[in-house]
Structure 1
Amino acid sequence: MEITTRRGKTRKSKLRGLFRLTMVLAIVGVLSLLFIFIYAYTLGPPPMELSQSTTLYSADGEVINEQHRGRQREWTDLEDVSPYVIDAFISVEDRKFYEHHGFDYTRIAGAVLKNIQTLSMSQGASTITQQYARNLFLNHDKTWDRKIREAFYTLRLEWHVPKEDILEGYINTINFGHGAYGIEQAAQMYFDTPASELNAAQSALVAGLPRGPSYYSPYAHPDRAEDRQELILSMMHEQDVLSTEEYEEAIHYELTYETSEDEQSTVAPYFQDTVERELVERYDLDPEIVEAGGLNIYTTLDPDLQETAERYMESELPGDDPVQGAVVSMDPHSGDVKAMVGGKDYRESPFNRAVDARRSPGSAFKPFLYYAALENGFTPATPLKSEPTSFPNPDGEDPYEPGNYEGVYANDFITLAQAIAYSDNIFAVKTHVLQEAEALIETAEAAGIESPLSPNLSLALGTSEVSVLELTNAYSPFANGGEHVEHRLIERVEDHKGNVLLETEPEKEEVFDPALAYIMTDLMTLMFDTRMNDYTSVTGHSIAHLLQRPAAGKSGSTPSDSWMVGFTPELVTGVWVGYDDNTELEHSEHGQTAKRIWINTLEGSLDDGLKQDFSTPEGVEEVDIDVGTGLLADEACGPSYTVAFLENTAPQDSCVEMIEDKEADEEAQEEQEERENEKLMDKLKRWFSTHEE
Structure 2
Amino acid sequence: MEVLKKYLLKIKEMPKQEKQRLLKKWSLLSAGAVLASFAGLLLLAKLMGPPALLVPQTTVLHARDGSVIGEIHNQGQNRYWMPLKKIDQDVIDATLSIEDKSFFKHSGFDFKRIAGALLADIKAGSKVQGASTVTQQYARNLFLTHDKTWRRKLQEAFYTLRLEMNYSKEEILEGYLNTIYYGHGTYGIQSAAHYYYGKNADDLTLAEASMLAGIPKGPSAYSPVLHYHRAKDRQAVILTAMAEDGHVTENEKAEAKRTHLSFQRIKEEQKQKVAPYFQDAVLSVLKNELKVNPETLRFGGLHIYTTLDANMQKIAEDSMNGKIKGKENLQAAFVAMDPRNGDVRAMIGGRDYSKSPFNRAVQAKRAPGSTFKPFLYYAALENGYTPSTSLKSEPTAFAMGDGHKDYEPQNFKDRYANDFITMSQAIAMSDNIYAVKTNLFLGPDKLVKSAKKFGIHSPLDKIPSLALGSKGVGVMEMTNAYNLFANGGHRMDPVFIQKITDRDGRVLYEHEYEKKQVLNEENAYVLTDMLAGMFDDRLGTYTAVTGSSINQQLTRPMAGKSGSTPNDSWMIGFTPQLTASVWVGYDKGEELGKTDTGYSKRIWAQFMEEALQGQPAMSFKKPDGVTAVTVNPANGKLATDSCPVTRISYYKAGTEPTEFCDEHGEDHYAEPQQEEESGWFNWW
**Normalization by structure 2: what TM-score?**
0.61
Residue deviations 1:246-265 (CA, integer Å, cap 9, x gap)? xxxxxxxxxxxxxx994641
Aligned partner (choices 249, 261, 280) of residue 287 of structure 2: 280
Alignment of 1:269 onto 2:282: no
Partner of 2:623: 617
CA distance in 1, matches of 2:395, 2:530: 24
CA distance in 2, matches of 1:377, 1:271: 41
Alignment of 1:645 onto 2:651: yes
Partner of 2:609: 603
Aligned partner (choices 343, 365, 369) of residue 362 of structure 1: 369
Partner of 1:629: 635
CA distance in 2, matches of 1:435, 1:407: 25
Partner of 1:512: 519
Q: What is the DSSP-based 3-state SS (H/G/I as helix, E as strand, rest coil) of the residue aligned with 1:364? A: helix
Greater shift, 411-420 or 316-325, is seen at: 316-325
* Matched-pair contact (CA < 8 Å) for 1:263–1:347: no
Post-superposition shift, 1:343?
1.1
Alignment of 1:568 onto 2:558: no
Q: Superposition RMSD on alpha carbons, in Å?
A: 2.9
Aligned partner (choices 589, 595, 607) of residue 595 of structure 2: 589
* Matched-pair contact (CA < 8 Å) for 1:360–1:561: yes
Larger radius of gyration: 2
Post-superposition shift, 1:295?
0.9
* Matched-pair contact (CA < 8 Å) for 1:67–1:264: no
Post-superposition shift, 1:73?
6.7
CA 1:436/1:408 → structure 2, altered by over 3 Å: closer, same or farther? same
Aligned partner (choices 63, 66, 70) of residue 68 of structure 2: 63
Aligned partner (choices 331, 338, 341) of residue 338 of structure 2: 331
* Matched-pair contact (CA < 8 Å) for 2:536–2:548: yes
Residue deviations 1:464-488 (CA, integer Å, cap 9, x gap)? 1111111000111110011001100
Aligned partner (choices 549, 562, 575) of residue 556 of structure 2: 549
CA distance in 2, matches of 1:71, 1:367: 48
Greater shift, 314-323 or 550-559, is seen at: 314-323
Partner of 2:329: 322
Post-superposition shift, 1:636?
2.1
Partner of 1:91: none
Residue deviations 1:585-643 (CA, integer Å, cap 9, x gap)? 01x20111100111110000101111111011011111222133331123423223221
Aligned partner (choices 434, 447, 468) of residue 454 of structure 2: 447
Residue deviations 1:421-453 (CA, integer Å, cap 9, x gap)? 000000001111111332111111111111111
Partner of 2:465: 458
Partner of 1:416: 423
Q: What letter is aligned with 2:573?
A: G
CA 1:439/1:47 → structure 2, altered by over 3 Å: closer, same or farther? closer
Residue deviations 1:159-179 (CA, integer Å, cap 9, x gap)? x99xxxxxxxxxxxxxxxxxx
Aligned partner (choices 533, 538, 545) of residue 531 of structure 1: 538
Q: What letter is aligned with 1:62?
A: S
Q: What letter is aligned with 1:495?
A: D
* Matched-pair contact (CA < 8 Å) for 1:261–1:347: no
Alignment of 1:473 onto 2:480: yes
Post-superposition shift, 1:370?
0.2
CA distance in 1, matches of 2:52, 2:292: 27
Post-superposition shift, 1:68?
4.2
Residue deviations 1:462-515 (CA, integer Å, cap 9, x gap)? 111111111000111110011001100001112224343322122211100111
Q: What letter is aligned with 2:397?
A: S
CA distance in 1, matches of 2:657, 2:618: 29
Q: What letter is aligned with 1:54?
A: T
Pairing 1:162-311 to 2, within 5 Å after superposition:
262=269, 264-311=271-318
CA distance in 1, matches of 2:295, 2:490: 36
Partner of 1:190: none
Q: What is the DSSP-based 3-state SS (H/G/I as helix, E as strand, rest coil) of the residue aligned with 2:570? A: strand
CA 1:366/1:409 → structure 2, altered by over 3 Å: closer, same or farther? same
* Matched-pair contact (CA < 8 Å) for 1:380–1:523: yes
CA 1:48/1:482 → structure 2, altered by over 3 Å: closer, same or farther? closer
Unaligned runs of 5+ residues in structure 2 are 1-43, 80-141, 153-266, 667-684
CA distance in 1, matches of 2:421, 2:144: 76
CA distance in 1, matches of 2:329, 2:307: 30
Greater shift, 542-551 or 431-440, is seen at: 431-440
Partner of 1:438: 445
CA 1:279/1:153 → structure 2, altered by over 3 Å: closer, same or farther? farther
CA 1:153/1:475 → structure 2, altered by over 3 Å: closer, same or farther? farther
Partner of 1:403: 410
* Matched-pair contact (CA < 8 Å) for 2:424–2:530: yes
Q: What is the DSSP-based 3-state SS (H/G/I as helix, E as strand, rest coil) of the residue aligned with 1:325? A: strand
CA distance in 2, matches of 1:503, 1:380: 42
CA distance in 2, matches of 1:518, 1:71: 52
Unaligned runs of 5+ residues in structure 1 are 1-38, 75-149, 162-259, 662-693
CA 1:48/1:295 → structure 2, altered by over 3 Å: closer, same or farther? closer
Partner of 2:379: 372
Partner of 1:51: 56
* Matched-pair contact (CA < 8 Å) for 2:388–2:635: no
Q: What letter is aligned with 2:640?
A: D
Pairing 1:661-680 to 2, within 5 Å after superposition:
none
Residue deviations 1:10-66 (CA, integer Å, cap 9, x gap)? xxxxxxxxxxxxxxxxxxxxxxxxxxxxx9xxx9xx999862111111112222223
Greater shift, 59-68 or 611-620, is seen at: 59-68
Post-superposition shift, 1:532?
2.0
CA 1:307/1:638 → structure 2, altered by over 3 Å: closer, same or farther? same
CA distance in 1, matches of 2:551, 2:540: 12
Residue deviations 1:158-217 (CA, integer Å, cap 9, x gap)? xx99xxxxxxxxxxxxxxxxxxxxxxxxxxxxxxxxxxxxxxxxxxxxxxxxxxxxxxxx
Alignment of 1:428 onto 2:435: yes
CA 1:291/1:395 → structure 2, altered by over 3 Å: closer, same or farther? farther
Provide the identity percentage.
48
Q: What is the DSSP-based 3-state SS (H/G/I as helix, E as strand, rest coil) of the residue aligned with 1:591? A: helix
CA distance in 1, matches of 2:493, 2:283: 18
**Normalization by structure 1: what TM-score?**
0.60
